[in-house]
Homo-oligomer: A and B are copies of this chain.
């Protein structure tokens, strides 16, 4: 391992990890992946070693510049402040507000309500409908917001932190068999983003810990 190379604690399928992987790819930051399998061994995030590193027992966590940061948006904001090129937040404060509003809507209002630990508590038979309700309710709002903010991407014509949240959330929606037809703007932007290299190299199907049968 090269000294000083950032280490990303990640799980291939974690949508929050994917957000950070896109940011690292866009900014051209070399890093090492340490896979944390959220299923195996009852969840490797619960190991004593990992808890010391990230008391939240969640991925992603990024070791960088001598600190360890948890929470995907906090990581992305740190990368933005210390490695500003290319920018993931627009210069105009009002547009930055739109980017953060969309990011928080997904990262705080959708994803946490359909993640693994909540679904476990909801019980096997209710999981699918629970996740679908949560995602549809969030996407209803998001589609409407995007009508006011979107250009080529979520906010205008530059890729921003909001787009880093959108694509992994749409992938989750696919996994939970959500009908995306009511969300033409979300679908269009998602498709455009998935064509970009940074979104491809960071994709769950191409990670060091992606199981062979899910590789593409």
Contact = CB atoms under 8 A, between A and B. Distances in A.
A74 interface: yes
Interface string A74-93: 11011001100000000001
Contacts of A58: 109
Interface string A127-157: 0001001000000111011000000000000
The copy count of this chain in the complex is: 2
A73 to B, nearest CB: 6
A30 interface: no
Contacts of A67: 94, 97
Contacts of A37: none
A97 B113 contact: no
Interface stretch (A98-106, A176-184, A190-198): A98-106
Given A56-B141, A81-B96, A82-B93, A71 B112 contact: no
